Chain A
Amino acid sequence: MLTKEQIAKRIAQEVEHRQYINLGIGIPTLVANYIPTHLDVVLQSENGLLGIGPFPKESEVDPDLINAGKQTITMLPGSAIFDSAQSFAMIRGGHVHLTILGAMEVSEQGDIANWKVPGKMVKGMGGAMDLVASAKHIIVAMQHCSKDGHSKLLPTCTLPLTGIRCVKKIVTDLAVLEIAPVGGFILKELAPGITVEEIKFKTAGKLIINGEIPEMTFD
């Protein structure tokens, strides 16, 4: 079973040279720590920054410089600042190549739910609906099952949706899966020590298994 850091590390292998990338709150934010240094990429923060730098030293903390998770950050040489309308223009306009975000549920059609549990929790969708409606490539980072053991990979989502038919790839603590164009979770890789049987047991939606499933590798 992968730790959150290992999920982030595996997702970082999906990053390509010269991509503009938006990272969601939680595990996706950790991906930044594992992007290979030989790749030139730019991280976008939807509150208005291209070129997110590392967290500041205590002496560099600037309340006027935060990321979308409201964490204090720094800029890099070549960074650019803009307003919220401009930020979502570049998102909806397809200029941001890759979106990595968390989810409560994903369906076998690639639908995603991550912003509301009716009657219990309402945080709001923030920028997630704009991001999933527009990015060319969307990767979900999440636990395979909820805390009470229910599969989060479902035939259809039970929670209010964030977007439909948008997720392309899912990296969980147990496996890497892709959404088939006709629907279904294609099992691509297993976490070390995890069996195909366990994935079958813990995936409520349609699971597609083609041949031998390799184990994930980490550098």
Chain B
Amino acid sequence: MINKTVENAAEAVKDIQDGATLMMGGFGLSGIPENCITALLQKGVCNLTIVSNNAGVDEFGIGLFLQKRMVKKMISSYVGENDEFERQLLSGELEVELLPQGTLAERIRAGGAGIPAFFTPAGVGTEVAVGKEVREFNGKLYLMELALEADFSLVKAWKGDTAGNLIFKGTARNFNPMMATAGKITIAEVEELVPAGSLDPNQIHTPGIYVQRIFQGNNYEKRIEQRTVTR
């Protein structure tokens, strides 16, 4: 087996340069690569293009990148719950491409799977369709959408092994598996890193072929946006 292990987050992100395109896993604050975010904040890079479903909240996640003006462009589907994001967007400081969530997911999946483009019904007749080819199949209209790839994909899994195989937990899975496939270099941070051979091959969600670097993260905060309980 090929050993993909690196020492820590700082080591994993050390060659991420200004102007890089990054995919970052997570839905809201669930399943985000917390350790890589902290390492990039410490390293200090700018002019990033970030592909992520959301933009964090003001004080956590990608919101921290926005505060430090590290981001040139966001490609996302939903950016509510982040006042600084909305301010930078409305003032024109931040370039933003908003996409239907399923289109975002499929563009990333296509990028990792060698499919350059595909047709989807989402966004037909809306401003998402502007400038895109529209074609009719079986009497229904579809938009052509292009694959997305990244210089680096930063993903978070529950467990991983030294060969880069990943297992996710709960809805923290979300965009992580497809992003892992679409990065030229994919960095996986996991809550528990085990030797190759320790995970059941039948239970692997992301095969190690997609992962170039893996490390065991620490101090996961896993902040909850909407703590909702029954009494």
Contacts and interface: CB of A to CB of B under 8 A. Distances in A.
B74 to A, nearest CB: 10
Interface string A91-108: 110000000000000000
B229 A134 contact: no
B123 A129 contact: yes
B80 to A, nearest CB: 4
Contacts of A161: 125-127
Interface string A48-92: 110000111110011111111111110000000111110111011
A55 B227 CA distance: 9
A29 B124 CA distance: 26
Contact of B173 (A46, A48, A56, A61): A48
19 contacts: A47-B30, A56-B230, A57-B230, A62-B170, A71-B226, A83-B168, A84-B101, A84-B104, A84-B174, A85-B108, A111-B125, A121-B86, A122-B86, A125-B78, A129-B100, A129-B126, A133-B122, A134-B122, A161-B126
B165 to A, nearest CB: 16
A123 to B, nearest CB: 4
Interface stretch (B11-19, B63-71, B193-201, B217-225): B217-225
A61 B98 contact: no
B161 interface: no
Residue of A67, A72, A85, A120 with most partner-chain B CB within 10 A: A85
B128 interface: yes
A64 B169 contact: yes
Contact of B89 (A83, A89, A122): A122
Interface of A: 45-49, 54-58, 61-73, 81-85, 87-89, 91-92, 111, 119-130, 133-134, 160-165
A163 B126 contact: yes
Contact of B170 (A81, A91, A92, A121): A81
| 10 nearest A-B residue pairs (beta carbon) | A88-B102, A130-B102, A64-B170, A164-B125, A129-B100, A63-B222, A123-B80, A133-B121, A126-B78, A124-B78
Nearest to A127: B101
Nearest to B30: A66
Contact of B171 (A47, A89, A92, A162): A47
Given A64-B30, A122-B86, A133-B121, A88 B230 contact: no
B106 interface: yes
Overall SS of chain B's interface = loop
A56 B89 CA distance: 35
A128 B101 CA distance: 8
B176 interface: yes
Given A83-B175, A160-B126, A88 B101 contact: yes
Interface string B171-191: 111111110000000000000
A5 to B, nearest CB: 16
Contacts, number: 181
Contacts of A111: 125
B154 to A, nearest CB: 16
B53 interface: yes
A19 B113 CA distance: 32
Contacts of A88: 101-103, 105-106
Contact of A91 (B102, B223, B228): B102
A123 B109 CA distance: 24
B28 interface: yes
A63 B220 CA distance: 11
Given A134-B122, A163-B125, A83 B222 contact: no
A193 to B, nearest CB: 33
Given A48-B27, A85-B178, A134-B121, 18 more contacts: A47-B27, A48-B174, A56-B229, A61-B227, A64-B169, A70-B27, A72-B224, A84-B53, A85-B108, A87-B105, A88-B102, A123-B80, A125-B78, A127-B101, A127-B102, A129-B100, A130-B101, A133-B121
A69 B106 CA distance: 21
B102 A70 contact: no
A129 B28 contact: no
B38 interface: no
